[in-house]
Amino acid sequence: MPDLLLELFSEEIPARMQRKAADELKSLVTNALVDSGLPYEGAKAFATPRRLALHVAGVPAGSAAKREERKGPRVGAPEKAVEGFLRGAGLASIEDATIRNDPKKGDFYVAVIEKPGRSAIDIIAEFMPGILRGFPWPKSMRWGTTPTRWVRPLHSIVATFGPETEEPDVVPFEFDGIASGQTTRGHRFLADEAFDVRRFDDYATGLEKHKVVLDSDRRKEIILNDAKDRALALGLDLVEDPGLLDEVAGLVEWPVVLTGSFDEAFLEIPDECIQLTIRVNQKCFVLKNPTTGRLANRFVLVSNIQAVDGGKLIVAGNEKVIRARLADARFFWDTDLKSSLSDNLPRLDDVKFHEKLGSVGARVKRLVSLSAELAPIVGADALKARRAAELAKADLVSNMVFEFPELQGLMGRYYATAQGEDASVAIAIEEHYKPQGPSDNVPTDPVAVSVALAEKLDLLAGFWAIDEKPTGSKDPYALRRAALGVIRIVLDNSHRIRLGDAVRSALGLIDVDVADEDALVGDLLSFFGDRLKVHLKDEGARHDLIDAVFALDGQDDLLMVVKRVEALGSFVSSDDGANLLAGYKRAVNILKAEEKKDGVPVTGRPHSDHFQEQAEIDLAAAIDAARAEAAEAVAGENFEGAMEALSKLRAPVDKFFEDILVNAEEPALRMNRLQLLAEIRDATHVVADFSRVAG
């Protein structure tokens, strides 16, 4: 079957836009093909700095003919209805329609519309200009006198279509004056000449001959392998950087890896500062000493040309720029060390955190108090927790963090260590932002844990207090991440924290009037419950079980919630649990129906003197025993024991429904049996709200 080849050749496309643009091109074209009745076998998109390309394999030569019947008005309908039908069906007169009979509705008109198949080339030529005009670039530009908009000036379009065994045809269309063809160009500097292409195979091969590696993944592989080889030759290791690798692969069409060096004196600066300086300013990789683990004074750069001097001039240019940028970094480092973190604290009062939540300085005061309150709960020294919280944000006004905001926290640790702060305090300054994502490490040092929890609880309580909660996909203050951070810190460190109390403490420190504190706390705890579902999803925990536990009062101890959920999951997956759940739901359904019919809820305990059958007596005794045993187990945090206690209800519940007619004719007997059903419901609620459990 024929293949389609497209290439859009332009000036340099920003690296950050290339991959998404290639995916968009693939999606738009393949969707248009399918919508036009041209299914395809496979498609792959490519991007280089100067071109987007798409290869679609197995496209039919044309669309199939279609026969469509369109039902019209009844015979004898008003003239306007008939005219509308003719216009919609494309018929010249009513004589072109056929008449059908419906036994119920009588005779009516039907238009039989024959749509002949169309050539794939014609279809593609028709939809391509619209795709290009509406292409979703994040930013686009105009050039010259034409209204054309593209990410950068567009020079040519390749569009060929045909089977492997025949000479392909050019798909003829224009995009605002640029006609499609089959001519492209090679590398701007190494092989800047035009050449014709027919189909994808000779297109990719032709580009390679003209010093262009089309596939970005292959360019990344070349860069990574050559960089590792260069590092190995120097007795060093490459510090891999996937984000930088993606970016650099989007800056070159013919990657050439070179190495350079800088003055060893710059190694006095923290490694992270060196790496970020070199990465941000020159898009270069750094190397490290495998023995010490510290950076070496060497770097790897990626050029887009093969220089006649072996790249000496290119390396020298990069070394010159890196030397200047590292000199700036050393100046920032030296200047910051001349003052202590404590000296920076007054300046935080001038940094606004949020219009309604005050300055960063005010927030630091809240963190100090909250960290000290949480410290004994997580086994931290309260004085160290206070000190760490006091200094946690001090590096925000340092020269280095002003230049590289990504280093906040980390630079605080370096500065705290340099000025002789306790090691736990220094660690807490860096780690109080953690975890910043699902793959990030969780603080384990008790002082760091207390400050990290305080940081996130203050954030959540503050934005809940001013009603700036996440909505839909919008979460500008990363509150979902903060809640997940609290959950991970608590669970990974097995800490027992009453979240409700912690949230109230955080609220009490915020200078905002809260109309209904109980409602706010409840809403925030519900938010934690939703985040807990997300966190436990990968571990196979069921959402309904989490809901069943959270539905009980006072469930704000995350560690105990998880343990209770685990025990509940094991229980309901057992035969006893599944059968008891079925009996519970049967009891609850009967209660709901009878309460609705009577208009009043069933309350009160059943009277033993109203029992008439042995099944009633046995069930009542089993409920009393199971409830007491389960309550005692829950009080001792033995949730497996609580489930085992409830499992003893299975047999008497089954027997009750086998032998007993709940809706007895005698009103007192009926109510007593309904109260016994309510006892089943209440007994199980010692452990979880079984009405929330699916099944």
Instruction: Give the residue carrying structure tokens 């887009």.
Output: 304
Q: Token pair for residue 361?
A: 């300085």
Q: What's the rounded Cα separation, in Å, for the pair 561 and 637?
A: 10
- CB count in 10 Å sphere of residue 447: 32
Please give the model's pTM, rounded to 2 decimal places: 0.81
Contact 203, 9 (CB under 8 A): no
State the Cα torsion 465-468-471-476 to the nearest 10°: -130
At residue 655, what is the residue type?
K
Do the beta carbons of residue 6 and residue 14 sit within 8 Å?
no
Q: How far apart are CA 117 and CA 22, in angstroms?
A: 30
Q: Is the bond into 346 cis (omega within 30 degrees of 0)?
A: no
Q: Which two tokens stand for residue 315?
A: 């390396």
Q: What is the pLDDT of residue 236?
A: 98
Of the candidates 513, 520, 370, the residue with the CA atom closest to the CA atom of residue 451: 370
Lookup: tokens for 80: 């306007």
Alpha-carbon torsion angle 139, 142, 147, 153, nearest 10: -100
Token pair of 25 as six digits? 């091109």
CB of 254 closer than 8 Å to CB of 290: no
Residue 611 has a CB neighbour count (10 Å cut-off) of: 19
Residue 163 sits at φ, ψ, to 5 deg, of: -80, 165
**Per residue in 353-374, is it b (16+ CB within 10 Å) or e — as a string?**
beeebbebbbbbbbbbbbbbbb
Contact 94, 68 (CB under 8 A): no
pLDDT of residue 599: 87
Contact by Cβ (8 Å): 54, 77? no
Q: Please say whether the dihedral angle defined by the alpha carbons of residues 629, 634, 637 and 640, taken in this order, is positive or negative.
A: positive
Beta-bridge partners for 42: 57
Q: Is residue 295 within 8 Å of 237, Cβ to Cβ?
A: no
Handedness of CA 470, 473, 477, 479 (dihedral sign): positive
Phi-psi region of 58 (alpha: psi -120 to 50; beta: other; left: phi over 0): left
Six token digits for residue 508: 């009490």
Structure tokens at 191: 């092989």
The answer for 606, left when phi > 0, alpha when psi is -120 to 50, beta otherwise, is beta
Phi and psi of 407, rounded to 5°? -90, 5
DSSP states of 154-205: EEEEEEEEE-TTSPPEE---EETTEEEESEEE--TTT---EEE--SHHHHHH
CB 50 within 8 A of CB 11: yes
Q: How far apart (Å, rounded) are the C-alpha atoms in residues 136 and 150?
A: 10
What is the enclosing helix (H) or strand (E) of 598? helix 575-598
Full strand arrangement of the beta sheet holding 66-74: 66-74, 106-115, 98-102
Cβ(20)–Cβ(80) under 8 Å? no
Q: In the beta sheet, which residues pair with residue 8?
A: 52, 157
- 8 Å CB contact between 524 and 464: yes
The answer to whether the beta carbons of residues 662 and 520 sit under 8 Å apart is no
**What 3-state DSSP class applies to 355?**
coil
Estimate the share of the chain in helix, then strand, then coil, as percent rounded to the nearest 5: 55, 15, 30
Burial of 18 (0-12, 13-18, 19+ CB in 10 A): buried
Which three-class secondary structure state does DSSP give residue 306?
Answer: coil
Q: Cα–Cα distance between 208 and 105 in angstroms, integer?
A: 69
Asked if residues 52 and 23 have their Cβ atoms less than 8 Å apart, the reply is: no
Q: What is the C-alpha R_g of the chain?
A: 36
Q: How far is CA 5 from CA 20, 43, 134, 323, in A?
A: 19, 10, 20, 46
Per-residue pLDDT, 685: 87
List b or e across 668-694, with b for residues whose CB sees 16 or more CB atoms inside 10 angstroms. ebbbbbbbbbbbbbebbbbbbebbbbe
What is the pLDDT, as a whole number, of residue 581?
Answer: 87
Q: Using CA atoms, how far apart are residues 660 and 663, in angstroms rounded to an integer? A: 9
Q: Residue 217 corresponds to which tokens in the numbers above?
A: 């993944």
Q: For position 191, what pLDDT does the model report?
A: 96
So what's the pLDDT on residue 578? 87
Give the H/E segment covering residue 286: strand 285-288
Q: Please report, in angstroms and rounded to a whole number, the separation of the first and last CA atoms in the chain.
A: 51
Cα separation, 324 vs 281, whole angstroms: 10
Which among 650, 629, 653 is positioned nearest to 641, based on CA atoms? Answer: 629
Successive 10-residue mean pLDDT values, the chain, 695 residues: 96 96 98 95 97 97 85 88 87 86 86 85 96 96 88 96 91 94 96 95 96 98 98 97 97 98 97 96 97 97 95 97 97 96 96 95 97 97 98 97 96 97 98 92 97 98 95 91 96 94 96 92 92 82 86 87 89 87 88 87 87 90 92 90 90 90 88 90 88 84
